[in-house]
Each structure stands twice: as structure tokens, then as C-alpha cells.
Chain A
Amino acid sequence: MSTATLTPAPTTAGLIRDTDALFARKRIVALAIPALILAYFAYIFIAFDIAGLRDRASLDNAMTLVSDSYSYKTHVARDNLSGEVSIAIEGERKGTYPDGMSPDWVTLGDDTIITLPKGHEVLFLADGAVRYDIPGYGLVSANPSRSGVNAVLPEGDVPDWINASKNRLAIKTAAGRLTITRNRTEVFRYALGWELFFFTLDSPYHGLGPVALAQRASSGEAGAIWSDFWNNRMWQHQQVAWAIFETILMAFLGTFGAAIVALPLALLAARNFAPFVWVRMVTRRVFDFFRGVDALIWTIVLARAFGPGPLTGALAILITDTGSFGKMFSETLENVDGKQIEGIRSTGAKPLQTYRFGVLPQITPIFLSQVLYYLESNTRSATIIGAITGGGIGLLLTQAMITQKDWEEVAYYITLIILMVMLMDWFSGWLRKRLIGGQEAH
């Protein structure tokens, strides 16, 4: 007798009813999950006050950030008391043109002539007066003195890009910007790119093309060229290179140091290797503790003992990852294949030889692959830890952020960080393939 005859034969109506019930249940689940997610987002919307974001957000900041990251401005300024004219990139001392030197759009002399794009021209006259010829609008003149800026605008309404008062005149056009106060007259001219990236103005190599540079280099100036580039005060290539190196160093020392420390501890935590149960329990809790006290807290504690720097970052990664590796390694050890060990033992191998030939070949590829995976992820952590504890590229990034004006440097550092992480990702993948062989197919 088969079971089919024992149970009552399903009727069509019954089947339809069951199916309907099943589908109804599935439909509810299918609707409930998106509804729950939506409800959660609605809660987040209120809890994070996303509606109020519009007031808190600063569009001006965003505009400066974006425009500053791919362009730079040159300040041409005259001190109205002494009559001295200075030209500086971004208005920084490090980017100041030496006396008598100027970009080709500024003609120095008794009168300073500043040519802006689109036919705009600003004149600093020898007697202290300023003239700005704006095509399509007219001539604006001013004569700053103790009594005020004395601006004279063309007849008619003042457009909204000109802001004129007794003591201040500000003109903002697409070609540039002119600001006059009683003490100072300043023109900004904007240009694309990262100026002075290779050489600062005090270097004889500033403004030379790659061909000219190659010629100079071949005639024995290679060392001087490199030194001018490497010690560029504006972009600080040397410091940046060190910072990148420090960050990678933190990741390298932290990851491999943790692996070295975790390896023997993992043996104590693995069920099939640990001699006593209580040893295993204690080791496991130690791992949990190391992992649970987050890298953030370890960083704070370590920074108190060793001060800021790469060693602190490396040790913070080392301690946190000792916990992670210990847990993973001991799980791997518990999953070793007993047959291979048995086989080695059957040939009369001593315990040490059993480990060497029975266990080690099984676990090495897995350990290596876990460690190398962490190497890439720790490069990112090292950047973050560096920003907190003060070391490596993370520190440079936060420093550039704090000034709130060196956005081109921020953009440069971000590019470098992404390239660094991608490079480490590629490197760890390559190493994994080389060391473990064809296991990683993709």
C-alpha cells in the first residue's frame, strides 16, 4: 500500500484554496518588507532632520569647494598707503611673484595694467586712482584715500554685481573680481588648473615645458630640477610622499604584526589544538575583547601613551586585527581536514612533522588570503586612524580641510588616497595569486 491511498486525495478546490492562502501570505511578505524599509527611512528622515538640511547646508561652501578644486586665482594687490604692488597665487606668501616678475597679463610700471579675459582691463594709476573698463557697461573709476574709495560709476542703475559704498567697492564679473577699500586695492583673476604644482615661482624651472626641462636635465641639472620639485613649498611633494608611505606602513605593520601575534594564540583557541577547555575559553574572550574595543578606542588609548604618529596607528590596527585574525584563524584550524593529518601520521611522523606536513599546507593559503584581504581594507583604516591620531595622509587631509580654502590640495589628496587604496587592492590580489596559485580563479 502506498502512502497516497492513505491520505485523502487532494481535491481541486482544496488545492486552489491552499495555493491562494500561500500566495496571499507571500504577497503580504513581499509588501511588508518594502513597507518596513520605507517606514524606517521615514523615521530616519525625521530623526536626522533631513528637512532642516536645507537651512544648514551652505551652497556657497559647495560652490567654493568645487570651483576651487579645479581652478586657482591670482591676487594682484596694491597697498594704497605705500603704493606697493604685489602679485601672489591664491594670495599666499609661498606663491608670491618675486619683485619685478609678473604673469604676462600684468604690465608693471608707473601704471600697473591688468588685462583680464573678455576685454576687461584694470589700471592701477601712479597717483593711486583705479580704473576698471568693463565692456558693455562702461568705465568705473575710484580714487581711494582717507576720505573713502570715491567710486565713480557710469550713469544709470547700479547692477547687482557691483557693491558700492563709501568705504568699499566690490565688482564681481565673469572675468575676475575687483575689491577696493581705503587701504587696499585687489584684483582676482581666475584660471584653470593647479598652479605651481611642479615648481614654485622662485625656482628657475617655473614655466618651462617638458622638452626644455628634459634638455636642462640632460645637461646636468637633473638633481637641481628634482630638488626644486621635491621641495616645492606650495604642494609639499616630499611631505605628501612621506605621508602616503606612513599610511601604507601603518597598514603593513598592523596587518602582518597582527597575523604574527594571532597565529600562536589561534592555536590556543582552536578546539582540536587547545590542550584545555579553559585555555580555549579565555583566549576566545581575549579575541572578542580586542575586537569589541574598537580601533577608535585603541587609537585614543595608544595616542595617550605614544603620542601621534605612524607607530600609534600601526599598533591600533595590530591590536584590533589580532582579535579578528585570532577568531578567523582558530575557525580555520577547527575546520582542517583530519584525513590528511591521519595520512601523515600513518607514515610514522612525529607530532611536529604532522603539523608541518599535515596541517600547515592546509591552512597557509587560507590564512594568507585572509591576511592579504585585510591589508587592503587596513590601508583605508590607516587613512582614517591617521586623521584621528595625526599621521600619514589622513592628517594632511584634515589639515587641508581645516583651512577651508586649500580645496585644490584636498582634491589632490583625495585622488592620491583613492589611487593608493586601489593600488594596494591590486597589489594584495596579485600577491595572493602569486603565493596561493590558481585557487583564485577570478
Chain B
Amino acid sequence: MSNIEHINQTYMDMVRRKRLYGGIMLAVFVALMLAGFRTADARNAGSFIDGWHRFFDFPGEVLGEAAGKLVEFPAHFAQYAPSLLETINIAAASTLLGALGAVILSLLATRGMARWPRLIPVFRRVLDIMRAMPEIVIALVLIFVLGGGPVPAMIAIAFHTVGALGKLFSEVNENASLKPVEGLTSVGASWTQRMVLGVIPQVAPNYLSYALLRFEINIRASAILGFVGAGGIGYELKNAMTWGKGQYDEAAAIFLMLFVTIVVVDQLSSILRDRLTHGKKSNMIGAQA
């Protein structure tokens, strides 16, 4: 009996200690958040208290102007459609380039598939560095060298995409079966043949699903890079913003186009990815979703 009591007591002690630790962690976290917001607020140009009621001023202004000039919207849409197409093209081309690079690098960085097994850590570090590089860094440097336009943005996004997709792809590769590769090796296939015929068919649906997700992200990135001078709809948005009051209808049209594009691409890619994962279930490929 005393034994059970003892166990009970120890258990309750443990629970209490765990709760105490949890409470302390929570308190530290809350303190960090509060201190963080205070610091951010103090270092900001305008404080939250002074600014929050102005939050809707700018959207209100833009919407108000836009509402008055609704008739001009179709003209604006037509005017900015080429820029929007450029933004989408930047995203698509960089996703394609990035995915191609990621396929190669991820195969080189996966145990059991690598062409040069000793160099696996090197390729992994290369992927890590490419992934850590924010697009804007490369874009700004390339704009200085290559001049403004879509090419710096495309290269910058593709570079980061190689790193981001490379990591995901190599996780997919690790879950692929090596048996087809062994079979192809036994009949004397070269490395390229082993990869194209033995690995790619297994992992293609997962690759495609990740690449689609990346395409969504890259559309946003390409709009942002336009804002710093790399062409596309972001560049037009920046120009429209600088014209200021009385000209916000163009900014509103661009906001709307960007919003619709992002939502449409998100929905389409989500439907496609859903189809890919459901197709995958019947294929019995054991890769993680």
C-alpha cells in the first residue's frame, strides 16, 4: 500500500515539476514577446499607439479613389497585363531552372545515389548556402552588374530555389527504393541512366508537388524583387505609389491584379498537388508528404 502511495507521490511530484517548468518557459516566452514588441516599437519611426488608427487610412484612401474611377480599371488591367505576365514568367522560369538544378544537386547529395559519394557533404553545404541566400541579395548585386530587368530577378530566385528545393528533393530521394538503381547498375547503366530511369520515375510526383508549392512562393518573391528594380508588376507598383494622391487608382488596380494572381495560383497549385498526392497513394511510393 505504501508502495502505491509512494509511486503516486513521485508521479504527482513529477507532474508538479513539469508544470513548473512549463510555467517558467511560458513566462519567459511571454516576457520575451513583450520586451521584443517594446524594443521594436521604440526603434520604429512611428509607434504602434500613434499609428494604429492610421492603419486603414492608406487602404481607405486607395479604395476611395479606386471606387471613384472604376471605369478606368479595365484600361489599367490591360496596361499592366504585360508586367504581370513578366512577373509570372520570372517565377515560372526561375522555378523551372531552380528545380532542374535542385534535381541534379539533390541526387549528388543523397547517400546511395551520389555520383561521387565522398563529395556528399560538399554538395550538402552548397545547398545550405544557396538556401540561406535571400533572393534580394543576389538580385541587388546582379542589378548593379546586369542592369535592371527580369534577368537579375530570375537568376536570384532560381539560385535560392535550387537550395530550397534541393533540400526537400534529397529528403524525397532518401525514401526512394534503391532496388531499381541496383538493377540498372547490374546491367551496366551509366550514372545518368540509373538516375533518369531508376530514381526519377519514383520521385517525380513528389518533386512536382514541391515545385508547384515553390512556384506559389516564387510569384510573391518575384513581385517583391520588382519593387527593388527587377522589373515586372512590382516595379510598376512602386512607380504607381510614387505618383501619390490622386493617382492611387493605378496602385489599386495593381494590388488587385497581384492579389487575384496569387489567390488563383495558390488554388490551382493546391488542386494539382492534391491530385498528385492522391495519385501517389495508389502508387505506394513511401515518400513523406
Contact = CB atoms under 8 A, between A and B. Distances in A.
Interface in B94-120: 96
B51 interface: yes
- Mostly, the B contact residues are helix
A164 interface: no
Interface size class of A (residues with CB under 8 A): 35 or more
B144 A65 contact: yes
Interface residues on B, range: 35 or more
A383 B228 contact: no
B59 to A, nearest CB: 6
Contacts of A49: 149
A383 B133 CA distance: 10
A383 B36 contact: no
Contacts of B241: 300
A438 to B, nearest CB: 16
Contact of B93 (A40, A288, A390, A398): A40
A92 B94 CA distance: 40
Interface string A230-250: 000000000000100010011
B46 to A, nearest CB: 4
Contact of A388 (B58, B132, B220, B224): B224
A422 B128 contact: yes
B11 interface: no
Residue in B86, B89, B171, B174 with the greatest tally of chain A CB atoms within 10 Å: B89
B137 interface: yes
A199 interface: no
B145 A305 contact: no
B141 interface: yes
A394 B225 CA distance: 13
Nearest to A48: B150
Contact of B255 (A297, A309, A397): A297
Interface of B: 29, 32-33, 36-37, 39-41, 43-48, 51-52, 54-55, 57-59, 86, 89, 92-93, 96, 128-129, 131-137, 140-141, 144-147, 149-151, 154, 171, 174, 220, 223-224, 227-228, 234, 237, 241, 255, 258-259, 262-263, 266
Interface of A: 37, 40-41, 44, 47-50, 53, 56-58, 61-62, 65, 242, 246, 249-250, 252-253, 256-257, 260, 288, 291-297, 300-302, 304-312, 314, 380, 383-384, 387-388, 390-391, 394, 397-398, 401, 404, 410, 414, 417-418, 421-422, 425, 442
